[in-house]
A and B are shown apart, each in its own frame.
Chain A
């Protein structure tokens, strides 16, 4: 019997059918105002039958979603060490700020004088992100990290076009997120994969060997997805610049280095940030996020249109930007997400943000140190905000990373990121973030050690896991073979 204390246990979970399996025709779940105007016939040739929706009462709807929510696990439930996703605490005051009635009701096509508050938030946030990255030109329009990457690649393409050069390739390390090659491909660039060196970081020589004048530049995630700082980033940037290329910094992992690095001094020309990671806005089950893009002075003219600017004491949207790549969003990006990030930065201040990065790295380094005798460490180098292990030590017990992850669910944790990055076979990528306290991290470490012991002593427990969650393992093969995407 194990004596390790695990936080997970069982509560009462209610069953709940699909929406259209409940309700009765004629029920109504929200008020519709009484009409104060005369009815007018609608042209019959355009009339449709209306959708086949269930009719539900307000109580039906509230119970439905309350029960569904209880089948979920969020940062507010417990530790969520999902590597690369930065599942830090999402402050409650940010939600209140985002819901401020005057800001939440603002129509996006009002004229500048009427929306000075909204424009001030956009402008100030641009300035803050410039201060944090060291890159002075900022657009807050991209709606997600991948959208920011696309914006960045469009800027690459516009820059090279302005130089009269047609470049067809882009360098992408093998540790990159899949979004990098996909974003580059949308701009017609063929990704050239770069193998990371034996120590998990990029070799200068590997870049020098392939960088040429047909290559638009390089996309580097720094710290990289192994949680390692790309120590040679400046030398690599110099090589790329010498051949006329640009350097894209994927800022997905900025949470490790706020106040520590200056992206400009690293040689980065364009960088996107994930406000839903580094700046604490909630992930919402997959979105909405926001992916602002920061660029050098030289590239500012290519940023999406419009940009918020300060004109004397007032703010306005600048549309007069002839070199801009154009619009990437219908309006001004995910403004309500921008507001939350603004609120976070105002709450943290410069010292608080730097401390957040330091503690994020401390927590990861501590876990790495405490677990490296338990699980096989992919690279034993100083880690940043996350550390990557593998299931190599469990192979003889025929236990995989997936089994370990599912057993952690039974223990009350959201598992780490698994099977990414691809360069580590059976990767287990742990990112605790700075908002986890020492005793919770110690408990997680103890539980991890227990699970690894169980892998040896009672492997069936892991293979059968989870047994305490709402569902047991789900048949993903059936879902993909015979897709049922609509009820």
Chain B
């Protein structure tokens, strides 16, 4: 086995030193009744070439592979990934290092995360971002738990039904064993969250709004933020498409107290939904209630600038059951990738790319409208929008699939009220010809 370097002679010599006759003898402290009583039912080993061939088989089993144009976003977006990221992220000094517990020999990871925190905070218009959470959904769950910690005695949180349905499921899972209550807020006919019922809800610690929301609609965040603060609650904002902040007002500018979302758009492949990147930011005053790792700037004995993990007393390894979260990792390499992506685009590039994404979706909307399809919500959208067709769209969708185009997400499973409607997504990766092909299949 090429990962196991021991020769038989070495094993014998080492066993002699430890005073055992065989490798089995090393396990004398394991009682008979605890032992594996049969060989593990696993396939026999493959060599590197057999494994490559097997992987090719798995790839062939993918009916929709990378050559398809998948016009679905819904929390996982197709953007171009610059080749530099593939090259830089494979540097094993980053990839094969652990959490930077020894800062003197981990300054690469530490400065990289500090830069990620800074770029993320600037993107979101917040004071401080952490070194990340698992994904957008768990970030939102952690955000709501943090809101409850900040608000102390209040026991209720509200969440818009225009927040990604999977995110809401994760929030429900996290809150299930607690005494906290979750209230869902309706969506109006314009596709935006309706806060009318908010004032009747007492004891509210925080309200979570996603923008752009699951339907692609850009919420009126400033107005919502004011209303939520007026109700005495914290304003938590979520996102699945951070590229939007190259164009729209950022959450901080709209009064957000805690911001949580998914960073996959920034250089990570869709990869069936993971590894993902939970971005998480807040205002300075509440940073000690924040979950997750934080990197801070300091200096060494010679007065040179350097970086360390800091504010660790919030965390489980010190505060144990009283910690702000049980999380003890960050999405390390994913944060570096996101920072590389933000750095590669730069401020002007991010704005240009966001505009391009906006223009593509507007073109696509117009092309579909021209064929008599209805864009369900007339509020401004980013990248994604909901479409209703005059006729059953399924036959057209089948024909498009044969042309290697996956035309939108059927909303029936996620919002029964929107059955028969489709959530479309286009980014800079969708050429005009793909959008024209979809419009061409729509029966006017």
How far, in angstroms, from A268 to B3 measured CA to CA in the complex?
Answer: 30
Q: Evaluate contact between A19 and B320: CB separation under 8 angstroms.
A: no
Alpha-carbon distance A184/B320, docked complex (angstroms) = 10
CB distance from B363 to the nearest CB of A (A): 4
**Given known contacts A51-B250, A334-B274, what 19 new A-B pairs fall within 8 Å (CB)?**
A28-B346, A35-B356, A47-B249, A50-B247, A68-B107, A69-B91, A71-B107, A72-B93, A73-B105, A100-B58, A179-B328, A265-B36, A287-B134, A330-B137, A350-B41, A358-B26, A365-B18, A368-B18, A483-B294
Q: Which of A203-211, A228-236, A453-461 contacts B (4 or more CB under 8 A)?
A: A228-236
* Among B6, B272, B340, B355, residue most surrounded by chain A Cβ atoms (within 10 Å): B272
Q: Does B17 contact A (CB under 8 A)?
A: yes
Cross-chain contact A346 with B248 (CB below 8 angstroms): no
Q: List 17 A-B contacts (CB under 8 A).
A: A40-B358, A74-B97, A102-B58, A107-B64, A182-B323, A183-B326, A233-B34, A257-B27, A282-B92, A330-B167, A330-B276, A347-B48, A359-B6, A381-B29, A434-B4, A470-B105, A486-B118
A37 touches B359 (CB 8 A): yes
Q: Which residues of A contact B172 (CB under 8 A)?
A: 326
Residue B279 lies at the interface, judged by CB distance under 8 Å to chain A: no
Q: Is the CB of B349 within 8 A of A30?
A: yes
Given A32-B352, A106-B64, A329-B134, answer yes or no on A40-B321 (Cβ-Cβ < 8 Å).
no
Pick from B123-131, B227-235, B369-377 the stretch touching chain A. Answer: B123-131
Answer yes or no: A36 CB below 8 A from chain B CBs: yes
Q: Which of A62, A109, A184, A187 is B74 in contact with, Cβ under 8 Å? A: A109
Contact of B356 among A33, A58, A356, A358 (CB under 8 A): A33
Question: Which residues 9-29 of B have a CB within 8 angstroms of A?
Answer: 10-11, 13-15, 17-20, 23-24, 26-29
Do A65 and B88 contact each other (CB < 8 Å), given the known contacts A283-B96, A362-B26, A414-B105?
A: yes
Of residues 389 through 419 on chain A, the ones whose CB sits less than 8 Å from some CB of chain B are 405-406, 409, 414-415, 417
The CA-CA distance from A307 to B344 in the complex, in Å, is 38
- The verdict on A197 contacting chain B, using a C-beta distance below 8 Å, is no
How far apart sit A30 and B97, CA to CA, in the bound complex (Å)? 27
CB contacts (< 8 Å) of B84 on chain A: these are 29-30, 58, 61-62
In the complex, which residues of chain A have a beta carbon less than 8 angstroms from the beta carbon of B249? 46-48
Q: Determine the main DSSP class of A at the interface with B.
A: loop
- Please judge, given known A-B contacts A131-B41, A472-B302, whether A285 and B333 are in contact too, CB under 8 Å: yes
Q: Is the CB of B295 within 8 A of A39?
A: no
| A-B pair number, CB within 8 angstroms | 705
**Chain B 189-224, CB within 8 Å of chain A: the 1/0 string?**
000000000000000000000000000001010000
Count residues on chain A whose CB falls below 8 Å from chain B CBs: 200
Q: Which residues of A contact B297 (CB under 8 A)?
A: 479, 484-485, 487
Are A478 and B247 CB-contacts (below 8 A) given A30-B82, A117-B58?
A: no
Partner of B346, one of A40, A55, A325, A472: A55
Judging by beta carbons under 8 Å apart, are B58 and A336 in contact? no
In the bound complex, CA of A348 to CA of B75 (Å): 35
Q: Does A289 contact B18, Cβ atoms closer than 8 Å?
A: no
Q: Judging by beta carbons under 8 Å apart, are B52 and A96 in contact?
A: yes
Q: How far is the CA of A414 from the CA of B72 in the complex (A)?
A: 44
Contact in complex: B45, A102 (CB < 8 Å): no
What is the bound-complex CA distance between A55 and B351, given in angstroms? 12
User: Is A299 engaged at the interface, CB distance under 8 Å to the other chain?
Assistant: no
A96-B52, A105-B66, A283-B97 known; A38 vs B359 contact (CB < 8 Å): yes
Contact pick for A285, options B43, B112, B179, B302, CB 8 Å: B112
Distance A407 CA – B343 CA, assembled complex (angstroms): 36
Q: Does A469 contact B (CB under 8 A)?
A: yes
CB distance from B100 to the nearest CB of A (A): 7
Q: A29-B82, A286-B293, A349-B45 are in contact. Are A328 and B51 (CB under 8 A)?
A: no
Cα distance A231–B137 in the bound complex, in angstroms? 40
| B135: contacting residue among A330, A476, A480, CB under 8 A | A330
A118 contacts B by Cβ under 8 Å: yes
For residue B80, CB closer than 8 A to chain A, the reply is: yes
Tell which of A99, A100, A330, A471 touches B300, judged by Cβ atoms closer than 8 Å.
Answer: A471
Interface residue? A353 (CB, 8 A): yes
B174 at interface by CB-CB < 8 Å: yes
Chain A neighbourhood of B118, CB < 8 A: 18-20, 486-487
**In chain A, residues 11-25, which have Cβ atoms closer than 8 Å to a Cβ of chain B?**
16, 18-20, 23, 25
How long is the Cα–Cα vector from A147 to B326 in the complex, in angstroms?
8
Do B92 and A485 touch (CB < 8 A)? no
A95 and B48 CA atoms in complex are apart in Å by: 12
